[in-house]
Amino acid sequence: MRWFWPWFLLLLPVLVGLVFWRRRAGVNRPATLGLSTVAWLPARARDRTRIVLFALYAVAMTLVTVALARPQRGFRENELSGRGVDIVIALDVSTSMRAEDFQPDNRLGVAKTMAQAFIASRTHDRIGLVIFAGTAVTQCPLTLQHEVLRDLVGRVDFGMVEDGTAIGSGLATALNRLRGSKAKSKVVILLTDGDNNRGAIDPGTAAELAKALGVRVHTIGVGTSGIAPMPVDDPVFGLRYDRVPVRIDETTLRAIAQTTGGRYFRARDAQGLSAVYRQIDQMEKSDVRSAAYSEWRDRGPELLTGALLLLAVAFALSLSVWARVP
C-alpha cells in the first residue's frame, strides 16, 4: 500500500472537526418546527439519535479525504521473456530394447523414465516425441503440455511399429517436426541400442539434412559392454533368458553428432543414462528470462463511491427522519 498524494491526509482532522462543530451548533440551535418521524421519542433521546446523521457525514468526509490522497495497492507479477528450446526425443523401441542390463527394468523402461524426468525439468521448452524401430512415427508433436507428453512417453511399448532399427528414418521424422520451428535452438535427442538395418533414409543423409536445418543432434548409445540378458518367451518352456552380444554402431552415432554440432554419449547402465540427460540439460539452456514488476492500482474511486452512498443516505435522513425547520 502507498499514498500517491499523502498531503491530502492533513485535511482529515480539519474536515472531521468541521463536521462535529456543525453538529454541536445544530444541537444548541432549537428548531421552531419538528417534522421528525421519531417525534414519539423524548426530546433528549431524539437529540442523541441525531448522532447517527453526523456520524454518516463524518465517515463520508473521511472517505473523501482518504480518496483524494489516492491510496494504491501493489500487485507483484512475473513476466517471462525470450524463447525456450525446441526439442524432439527420438526413441528406439526395437525388440533389442528388451535387454535387461539396465536394472531395475529393461532398456526401454529405463529410457522412458529418464525421458520423463528430462521433460519435467524443461519447463519452458517445446518438446516432441518420435518412436522408431523398422519405421518411425510421431507420437507427439512439439508441445508445452508436458503432462500430456509424459503420459504418452509412459504409454510407449514394443510392437507399436514394425521391428528393426531405422536410425535414419527416426532422425528424419524428428527433423520433420522441427522443420517449421522458429526457435533459435533446435535439438534432437536420438537414443538407440543397435545399428541401422532398416529404413529408406541413410543416417548420414539425415545428418546432413539436420545440419542444413540448423538442428543439433545428440546421440545416445545404450547398452552394457559385451553380453546382455535378453528375455525370450518360449511357447514350450515359458520365459527364459538368452545372452546376446551388444552391438551399437557407435561410428554412425558419433558421425551424426559431429556433423550436426551435437555430442555422442554412451550409457552402459541406468545411472549412466541419467547422467547423460543431466549433461544435455546443462548444455541446452533455454533463453528465458523472468522479470518481476509491481503494478499499482488506485483504490480512490472505490472510496469515493462509498462516500457518495453515505452522503446520499445522510441527506435522505436529514429530509425525512430528522427533518427540522428553523
Cross-strand partners of 2: 72
The whole-angstrom separation of Cα 231 and Cα 193 is 16
Strands (E), 84-223: 86-92, 126-132, 136-143, 186-192, 215-222
For residue 51, pLDDT over 50 is answered with yes
Query: pTM here?
Result: 0.65
For residue 299, pLDDT over 80 is answered with no
The whole-angstrom separation of Cα 259 and Cα 202 is 14
DSSP helix/strand/coil, 120? helix
DSSP helix/strand/coil, 284? coil
Domain boundaries, the chain: 2-73+299-325, 83-288
pLDDT for the residue 35? 47
pLDDT tens digits along 243-296:
899 989 999 999 999 999 999 999 999 999 999 999 999 988 876 555 555 666
Alpha helices in 122-197 (DSSP H): 146-155, 167-178
Question: Region 141-165: what's the mean pLDDT?
Answer: 96
Cell matching residue 82: 525470450
Cell matching residue 227: 553380453
pLDDT for the residue 101? 92
108-112, 147-151, 293-297: the lowest-pLDDT one: 293-297
For residue 77, pLDDT over 60 is answered with no
CATH 1.10.260.40 fits 83-288, yes or no: no
Return the CA Rg of the chain. 38
The whole-angstrom separation of Cα 321 and Cα 312 is 14
pLDDT for the residue 141? 96
Cell matching residue 275: 547422467
pLDDT tens digits along 24-44:
665 555 544 444 454 544 555
